[in-house]
Amino acid sequence: MHELALSGAIVNTAVKHARGRPVSAIHLRVGVLRQVVPDTLAFYFAFVARGTLCEGATLDQERIGARLGCRGCAATWGIEIPAFRCPHCGGSEVEILTGQEFEVESIEVEEETACIA
C-alpha cells in the first residue's frame, strides 16, 4: 500500500516542476528492490492526480534490475533474488549497485500556444 504515498510524492514533484503547465507524461526509474507493484502504482497515481496538473498524464515506469558488487574482488552481477554473497570469490562484503532507484527522471508538460490575432 506504500504505492499510495509514492504516488502522492510523484504528483507533488511533477506539479512543483511544471510551473502551472498541464503535465502530459511522467517518466520514472524504479528499482526492483523497492518492491513497488507497477500496476498498483499506476492505479494510485491516477487517483492522486485527479484535480491536479497531472490529471490524465501517463506514468511511464522503467524497471531497473538489481546489481550487486563485491568489495573484495570487484566482481558485479545481476540478481533475481537477494543473495548477498559474491558468486565469484564467496566474499560477503557486498554492496547494492542498482535496484533501489525511485526517481522522477523527467516530466513532459504542455506548452502554451501563442495567440496570433
Altogether, the residues listed in the chain come to a count of: 117
Give yes or no for residue 86 having a pLDDT over 60.
Answer: yes
Number of domains the chain is built from:
1
> In 10 A of CB 107, how many CB atoms?
21
Confirm whether 57 is domain-assigned: yes
Confirm whether 92 is domain-assigned: no
Domain span at residue 57 reads: 2-65+98-109
What is the domain-level CATH number for residue 34? Answer: 3.30.2320.50
Confirm whether 93 is domain-assigned: no
More confident site: 29 or 82 = 29
Confirm whether 7 is domain-assigned: yes
pLDDT tens, 38-75? 999 999 999 999 999 999 999 999 999 999 999 999 99
pLDDT tens, 11-45? 999 999 999 999 999 999 999 988 899 999 999 99
